Amino acid sequence: MMIYGINPTAEALRAATASTVWVGDRRDARVRDVLELARDSGVRVQQVGLAELDRLAAGGRHQGVVAQVSRPTDYGPTDLVRTARQIPLVLVLDGIEDPQNFGALVRTAEAAGADGVVYQTRRAAQRTAAAVKASAGAMAHARLAPVVNVSRSLLELKEAGVWVVGLDTEADAPYHELDLSQPTALVVGAEGKGLRRLVRERCDMTASIPMLGHVSSLNVSVSAGIVLYEAVRQRAVSGGRREDSK
């Protein structure tokens, strides 16, 4: 798989998934850091022209750096629960279509110490170079569980002892009134569409984020971040804080 951009390449090198790095003439401090990481990791570096970088990146905004990375490991939904360090916290994406949002959601989940992200493999954004760049490299570290059927994966998570909470603008319960200190899967729906009916019905509870201004909704990655960090806060208060979630 080809990825591009300074942060995605740097994180791939830190995660030991990069096999080759291509760079252009740019030699600012950030690119030099990438080159140093590649040297320390024993990864081959090739200097190429701008046209070749554009070709390798398929026209993406590569910032003068492109890398070849190994195929990431795929997990199942229950794998994320079984291998959780302490109290499982999983993010489930129901039909997210925009690769920028997909990448941002993975970045948010990884930053919050979530145990992984479940996402749909059909009619939804995938683990592409654009999504990797939008994640600022977080996708090199996050554990991802691609599934064909999101609603079925929720049943698997519930059978594994996880409480499933869906974010829904129409829900009466505000997110901060829920007990997120227990094993939790947070489900977020597609941009402008929200949760699909069957997915909503599979949730144990739905919750909303109070909107106090003039706008009626938030970007999906912002919404997920608010609730994930509420889970982090509650677990810290209850003594369930995970000092090392990876």
**Which residue in 55, 61, 47 sits closest to 134, CA to CA?**
61
CATH class of residue range 2-69: alpha beta
The C-alpha torsion from 131 through 226 and 170 to 202, rounded to 10°, is: 70
4 touches 66 (CB < 8 A): yes
Distances (CA, A) of 14 to 29, 41, 139, 220, 231: 17, 8, 12, 28, 28
Q: Which helix (H) or strand (E) holds 227?
A: helix 220-238
Helix (H) and strand (E) counts in the chain = 9, 10
d(CA 232, CA 242) in angstroms, rounded, equals: 9
Domain ranges of the chain: 2-69, 77-238
For 119-169, write each residue's pLDDT tens digit: 999 888 998 999 999 999 999 999 999 999 999 999 999 999 999 999 998
Give the β-pairing of 163-167 and 184-189: parallel
Domain spanning 77-238 has what CATH number?
Answer: 3.40.1280.10
Residue carrying the six token digits 């948010």: 108
For 25-41, write each residue's pLDDT tens digit: 888 999 999 999 999 99
For 74-112, write each residue's pLDDT tens digit: 999 999 999 998 999 999 999 999 999 999 999 999 999
Task: Please tell me whether residue 108 adopts helix, strand or coil conformation.
Answer: helix
Task: Please tell me whether residue 148 adopts helix, strand or coil conformation.
Answer: coil
